[in-house]
Structure formats: C-alpha cells, structure tokens
Amino acid sequence: MGLLKDITRRPAMQEALGFAFARYLQAVRRSNRFVVEPADIHGHLTALTPIIGTAWHGQHFMAPFLRRDEDAVVSLVSRSSDGELNAIALKHLGVGAIRGSGARGRDPRSKGGASALRAMLRVLAAGESMFLTADVPKIARRCGTGIVTLARMSGRPVVPLAVATSRRLDFQSWDRASLGLPFGRGAMVAGNPIRLDRDATDAAMEHARTAIERELDRVNARANALVGREDPGAGLRSLASRREPA
C-alpha cells in the first residue's frame, strides 16, 4: 500500500490520473440526458457573473459541466495530494485552480486560506467566477464562514448549484460523496443568489450563511428529484449537530 501511495504521488502519475478522471467525467456528461433549471440556466448565471458558485462537498464532481467554453471559472482546490489530482482534472476541463482550503475550526486564515482568499478576490475583481464547496472538510452540510467572507469582501453573489445523475455510485464517506455513471439521466439546478453588503454585520453574515445552507439543500433535493433519486447527504447536518457536545 505504501508503494502504491508513493507511485500515485509522482507528478507523471498524478498527471495521468487527473487526465483520466477528466475524460471519465466528460464521458458521463455526454452519455447522460440532462435537464436544467431554470430553463435558461446559462442566461440566469451570465446575468449574475462573476459569481461565487458553490456546492456541497462530495456533490461537486459534475459541477464543471455547468460551465460553457466561453465562461472563465476558477475553483478553490485543497493543498492535499487528492487536491492535486482534482486540480489536474479541472485543468483538462478548462477550469483554473487556486490552492487552499477551509479548516475544521473555520478560520479562513488557516491551511493557506488567507493567500487563497486574496487570490479569489483578484479573480472576481477581474470578472471571472469562482467555485468552491460551502462545507469544510469533515463537517458535512454545514456552510463555513469562508464563503460568506468572500461574498462580503467581493460584493459578488453566492449561487448554490447542484448536479445529480440517476446512475451513480454513492459512497459512505463523511460527505456521502456521489460519482456519476454513464448512460442515465441527469439534472443541473442553479439556485437563487445570496448577496452580502461589504459592510455586513456579523448577524447579516450568519443570516447569509444559513441561507446558503437552505438553498443548497433545496437545489440538491430538486436535482435528485428530477432524476428520481434522493439526496444521499440529506440529514447529515442534523446528525452532526446531535453528536456535538452541549
């Protein structure tokens, strides 16, 4: 196992694996019949551009297919070895990457968060859209403060997104991740934008944070309903809350 792990961390192998994953996702996209909501989904998103697109962790693998060739999008990707594979796959899908991630303590300055935040602000100021998952590692379905901080400092809207397929693998991971399979049906849903003023109070930021949670839950439930499935991560937030000490 140690040897295999070392091999997969070699740059050439990571490049090959990232390329293969990108091609697999493209095959899933081409072989599924997708419906979209709203019907003019790209007009809806273009009118808001640049946006801060977001999805729940584990339900984000197909999110790049909401992007058209002419859309400039950059994604926040963790600095882990898995993140390196994701960054390579995104490159082959036409999506840029900023390396950094949130932390369990939700401090946006940790794990490269401060430099990543500055880089994301530059991307948005240049008219390009950002994409990042709303929940931070190991804290499923609970929106962290990083994305609302980015929304407040940039003045750009957060748009919850969901992509679901009828044929897929659902994993028993902390985030109940899903990986789409070919030859089924798919749905892409864009939610209502959530905005924050640059002088937003702490109370306003908390209101926006919970609004993002609710809208992400809604679009995930809707995307899954359109393909006749249930959201595999529904209820994770309440389950985590019950496990927390009083």
Residue 141 has a pLDDT of 96
Residue 8 has a pLDDT of 66
| pLDDT higher than 60, residue 208 | yes
Tokens 């939610």 correspond to what residue?
A: 191
Mean pLDDT of the chain: 91
CB-CB contact of 183 with 163 (8 Å)? no
Query: Which of 195, 204, 53, 200 lies closest to 123, judged by CA?
Result: 53
Two structure tokens written together for 160: 């919850």
End-to-end CA distance of the chain: 40
pLDDT in tens, 71-106: 999 999 988 878 899 999 999 999 999 998 755 544
Residue 105 has a pLDDT of 45
Residue 13 has a pLDDT of 92
CB-CB contact of 192 with 44 (8 Å)? no
CB-CB contact of 188 with 163 (8 Å)? yes
The total domain count for the chain is 1
Binned at pLDDT 50, 70 and 90, residue 240 comes out as low
Please give the residue range of the domain that contains residue 211: 2-243
H-type helices in 47-189, by residue range? 81-92, 113-125, 146-154
Residue 50: asked if its preceding bond is cis (omega within 30°), the reply is yes
